[in-house]
Amino acid sequence: GPGKVYVWLDDTKGVNGTCLARDGRLLGAQAFGNKLMSYRVALDGPSDTQVLVDDPTLNQPNDVAASPKKGGGIYYTDPDFKNRQTSAVYHLSTTGKVTKVLSDMQVPNGCLVSNDGKTLYVGDSYLKHWRAYPIQPDGTVGPGIVFFDPDTERDQDPDGMTIDERGNLYLSGRGGVWVCDKWGKSLGLIPVPEFCSNVAFGGEDGKTLYLTCAGRLYSLKMNVRGPQFAKK
């Protein structure tokens, strides 16, 4: 319940963005260990820890997104916050092949794959907007477009993001959590007084939206659920 917290995983070496893969494992972008991690979820902590990518040349892996399609791979962002020179987004295939799929963004931050596995969304922490890229059959992506750039003076960095069962996106940054449909039409802002770094669906029925913010964690009851909780 509210106010009750326990440590699930310690000494993470900077695990930042996380997501649940199709098999229910928790994926984590490990910023300071320069790794992409995978954990089997158990109540008292990870029961099986695997290193999917170990690359000391990375800047600091920031976020990770798994394709919901069978045979789809995993995407992770690697922003160069300091110099904005070597930022990239990578794809890890189901066979273990790593490919740099994006290098056109100065500071890629949060990333997400659409429910149909056809679009990769990436937040740009330098230009403060969100872009969308078509995913090709081999996991690479085509040219991107500016997908969402809200009409607001709020300039907080785009960060983590999530999606609901209807394909609507929840984008942290620019003053809270922006909600838009799959065509990039704004459905409104969930205003948050603190900086909001990430957002995810959870709860027993999947209809609770959790917001990780500066020093606080918020929960918001929703009428929709995350796609992983939708009845198949």
pLDDT digits (tens, 9 = 90+) for 206-232: 999 999 999 999 999 999 999 988 865
Give the chain's length: 232
**Residue range 93-145, pLDDT digits in tens:** 999 999 999 999 999 999 999 999 999 999 999 999 999 999 999 999 999 99
**Residue range 196-205, pLDDT digits in tens:** 999 999 998 9
When pLDDT is averaged across residues 43-51 and rounded to a whole number, the result is: 93
Given this model, what pLDDT does residue 180 score? 98
The CA distances from residue 125 to 111, 129, 174, in Å, are 12, 7, 10
Res. 4: pLDDT tops 90: no
161 contacts 184 by C-beta, under 8 angstroms: no
Given this model, what pLDDT does residue 188 score? 97
Rounded CA-CA distance 83/190 in Å is 32
Give pTM, 2 decimals: 0.96
Give the mean pLDDT of the chain: 95
Residue with tokens 């922003």: 79
Of the candidates 98, 21, 106, the one whose C-alpha atom is nearest the C-alpha of residue 54 is 98
Helix (H) or strand (E) holding 29: strand 26-30
Of the candidates 108, 172, 117, the one whose C-alpha atom is nearest the C-alpha of residue 139 is 117
When pLDDT is averaged across residues 178-183 and rounded to a whole number, the result is: 96
Q: How confident is the model at residue 2 (pLDDT cuts 50, 70, 90)?
A: low
Given this model, what pLDDT does residue 8 score? 94
The CA distances from residue 76 to 34, 61, 90, in Å, are 11, 7, 5
Residue 217 token pair: 């964690």
Rounded CA-CA distance 166/207 in Å is 13
Residue with tokens 């109540």: 43
Given this model, what pLDDT does residue 105 score? 96
Of the candidates 133, 126, 132, 92, the one whose C-alpha atom is nearest the C-alpha of residue 108 is 126
